[in-house]
Structure 1
Amino acid sequence: MNELQIGLLIVAITTIVLFSGFPIAWGLALVAIGFLLVFKGPASLAVVATQFMDELNSFALLTIPLFVLLGAAIGVSAAGKDIYESLYRWLARVPGGLIIANILACGMFSAVCGSSPATAAAIGKAGVPEMIRRGIPPALATGAICAGGTLGILIPPSITLILYGIATETSIGRLFLSGVVPGILLVILFSAYACFAMFMERRGLPRVEETFTLKEKMEGMFRVGPFLVIIIAIAYFMYGGLATPSEIAGVGAFMALILVMTIYRAWRPRQQWLIFRDTVRESSMILMIIAAAALFSYMMSLLYVSQSAAEWLVALKMNRWVLLFAINIFLLVLGCFLPPVAIILMLMPILTPVLEANGFDLIWFAVMLTINMEVGLITPPVGLNLYVLRGVAPEVPLGTILRGSMPYVFIMLAFMVVLCLVPGIATWLPDTLMGKGH
């Protein structure tokens, strides 16, 4: 068998193993070990433990459990409800103000969390029942938070961007900066759609507005204030060049723990146990996938599959934009079945040389890839955020949640086209603050 035939066999077997429900980390490791054994013999297995440990022996990986701890600390409290309620008091007179408040809350929560499922769960747990109680159609209520939750992998600190930086050896600081402007623009676009959809829904009906005094609005801001402090502190230390991403993750996690212990009284042993238990679970899962993906990539490289695939793509000599379109279609399909972590760690070692050979900026592509993965989070059959919302709002059918999410899918796809036409949306901020280069 030649290298490309071996590669097709690897794709087929990996697809079967992962779709069988086998844990991703063990599935990747099993496939890698199996192909090493068959094509390189038992002696090749001597490197398995070394590959696992070498990949995890990276200081950059320290950011992952620390940012996960930050998100877990915020997630165990009533922070999500406080954020959207505080924002709603300022937006009560705007059509769809409560929906917009939840979308903005998703954006803010993402900026201190970095995880899409955690964002969707934290905001949705309080936001969806409240929106439905106040007469907002279930599809609009769940769709907004389902889509807003995806911002957790784009707005920094994003665990997905950290993994992308590790896989492509690009600056995590630059990647974080590249997600800021696109993240803000998507929040604005999501909010604009929510305003329009609610206006059309209530057209011709008498408006019932809640009113809040300035005192009530300011009371809500006192709850939001600490989150703004964490966001500003992370931004100041990172973008001011005062600390590394790992150090910033440590500072952010410490501040989040102090916040939930003082404001939300989450100092009891059981509450602290939940925080650290969830942190260990999610961190271990991510780190095991990273280690298994490294072994998988080593196997593909040793069998010369990665190099052959890259050479084949370059040899096609297709137009660079046609190539980009084909890559994005492939990623969209893959994103419907696999989580972003697995896709990035499996594919970026192959795609990186192809993208560079065709003159694409890896920082810019990180944003394209992340938005692509966001679409996968709200489309079946995997669509993790769909099931997160189904869990926090069991009374809403999955079909209704999906129907409410679809307009946001089209918004994100359109935004990807705009990003191709105006790449500066992603690259302007990192180039301005950190200078050009990677």
Structure 2
Amino acid sequence: MSVGIIGILYGLGTLLFMFSGMPIAFALGSIAVLFMFIFMPASSLDTVTLNVYEEMANITLLSVPLFILKGAAIGKSRAGADLYLAIHAWMHKIPGGLGIANVFASALFAAMSGSSPATCSAIGSAGIPEMRARGYSPRFAAGIIAAGGTLGILLPPSIVMILFSVAAEQSLGRLFLAGIGPGILMVVLFSGYAAFRYKKEYKEALDTYNQGGRKSAYLEAMELTLYDKFRLLPRVVPFVTLLVGVMVALYGGFATPSETAGLGGILALCLIALIYRMWRPSQLKPILSGTLKESTMLMFIIGMSLLYSYVMSYLHISQSAAEAIVALSLSKWALLSVILLMVVVLGFFLPPVSIILMTAPIILPPLKAAGFDLIWFGVVMTIVMEMGLIHPPVGLNIFVIKNIAPDIPLKDIIWGVIPFVGLMMFAVLLICLFPGIATWFPDMIYGMSGK
């Protein structure tokens, strides 16, 4: 049987297993073992556990459960709400300041937790009710929180970037640094849209009031004293200090990514114990059990995805697919467009972790041959996968928002995130036109030789 036919059967079998409702990890593992049984030597089945173990024993992957622990500790405390309230207190007089405060709070919290759903839940629980109380439309309030949550997989420490660095065999430190410039770009774009949308909704509210309609909360001035502003800082500063400290330890060469993740997890637990008095076993149980469940699920997906990729490589499916892509003789940018379109489509059905590990063996060789910097591509691919978190039909963040604000119709949440999907596309275009947005910072720190 030709490699092409085997590859088609492998792809169709994967879709069949996934759409059967089987968990992703077991679907990938099952189809891999089935094809090993049919097309590979019988002795290869004896090496399944060894292959999975060896792939998961990568020292970089040790940082994954430790970063999850750090994120769970911060996410299950009031740190997110306090962070949002503190930023809101200082920015409330800026046009659209409440929306901008949500963007900044989401960015900082995402950088501390590394989780998009956790960011949506922590910031949205405080931000959505406050925005609606101040007259913001439910559609806009839901959209900006869902979009802000996507920054969780772009800003370091990002678990998605950790996995990309392993799959692409690229420097994790460079990849983390490469996400900072695009992360700031997206914060600026989201904040600009928040100010624009505020002016539009404020004008509509003012016109309605002038025509004899009800007075919207938009038109009510909010006053906070200097005491109110400084009162919120003591609970926020330690967590921001933790974020800065972890980054300094990582990029200053004082600790490896795994050591940094362990340090961050321990310090996060210490901070919530000191600031929020969360030290009793009953309070720590949800943090530790949540970390265990998420880490186990993620490591299962990683292990089975790597086994899946190993079978693809052994049967020459990935090599043949890569050669077929190269044989199309597409221009450099046409090749990139086709690959990113494929990532968008996969984002309809799969989480970013699975997309990276399943597609890396196929898409990275042609991209490298075309002259693309894989660090730069990792950032672009991450932003494209971020879109999958807020665009239908799966959009995980959409359903997180629906859970914390059940009275907002799903239709309004979806329409609320559409402008942010457009802004993400614009950000990708800018990074393609000006790749230095992503590469300048890591090149400055590590030098040009890392490319």
Give the shorter-chain TM-score range.
over 0.9
Give the C-alpha shift of residue 239 in structure 1.
1.5
The answer on 1:412 being equivalent to 2:424 is yes
The answer on 1:246 being equivalent to 2:268 is no
Give the C-alpha shift of residue 57 in structure 1.
1.4
Range that drifts further, 119-128 or 284-293: 119-128
Distance (Å, rounded) in 2 between the aligned partners of 1:121 and 1:21:
26
Distance (Å, rounded) in 1 between the aligned partners of 2:228 and 2:184:
27
The answer on 1:291 being equivalent to 2:303 is yes
The answer on 1:364 being equivalent to 2:376 is yes
Distance (Å, rounded) in 1 between the aligned partners of 2:24 and 2:294:
13
In structure 1, what residue type is equivalent to 2:440? W
The answer on 1:16 being equivalent to 2:16 is yes
- Residues 68-94 of structure 1 show CA distances to partners (whole Å, capped at 9, x for unaligned) of 000000011111111111111111112
In structure 2, what residue type is equivalent to 1:201? E
Partner of 1:72: 72
Partner of 2:386: 374
Partner of 1:333: 345
Give the C-alpha shift of residue 270 in structure 1.
1.3
Partner of 2:288: 276
The answer on 1:125 being equivalent to 2:125 is yes
Distance (Å, rounded) in 1 between the aligned partners of 2:155 and 2:19:
29
Distance (Å, rounded) in 1 between the aligned partners of 2:89 and 2:328:
56
TM-score calculated relative to the size of structure 1: 0.98
Distance (Å, rounded) in 2 between the aligned partners of 1:121 and 1:59:
30
In structure 2, what residue type is equivalent to 1:61? L
Distance (Å, rounded) in 2 between the aligned partners of 1:147 and 1:104:
12
Range that drifts further, 123-132 or 194-203: 123-132
The answer on 1:256 being equivalent to 2:268 is yes
Range that drifts further, 5-14 or 351-360: 5-14
In structure 1, what residue type is equivalent to 2:409? P
Distance (Å, rounded) in 2 between the aligned partners of 1:394 and 1:28:
34
Partner of 1:141: 141
Superposed, 1:33-432 pairs within 5 Å as 33-203=33-203, 205-206=205-206, 207-432=219-444
**1:317 counterpart SS class:** coil
Give the C-alpha shift of residue 204 in structure 1.
5.3
Contact 2:185 2:427 in 1 (8 A): no
- Residues 204-263 of structure 1 show CA distances to partners (whole Å, capped at 9, x for unaligned) of 545322111122111122222012101110121111121111111111111111111111
In structure 1, what residue type is equivalent to 2:312? M
Range that drifts further, 7-16 or 291-300: 7-16
**1:157 counterpart SS class:** coil
Give the C-alpha shift of residue 95 in structure 1.
2.3
Give the C-alpha shift of residue 96 in structure 1.
2.1
In structure 2, what residue type is equivalent to 1:147? A
Range that drifts further, 306-315 or 404-413: 306-315
Distance (Å, rounded) in 1 between the aligned partners of 2:163 and 2:418:
27
Contact 2:136 2:201 in 1 (8 A): no
Structure 1 residue runs without a partner (length 5+): none
Give the C-alpha shift of residue 271 in structure 1.
1.3
Partner of 1:28: 28
**2:113 counterpart SS class:** coil
Distance (Å, rounded) in 2 between the aligned partners of 1:213 and 1:435:
47
Give the C-alpha shift of residue 19 in structure 1.
2.7
Output the aligned Cα RMSD: 1.2
Distance (Å, rounded) in 2 between the aligned partners of 1:46 and 1:352:
29
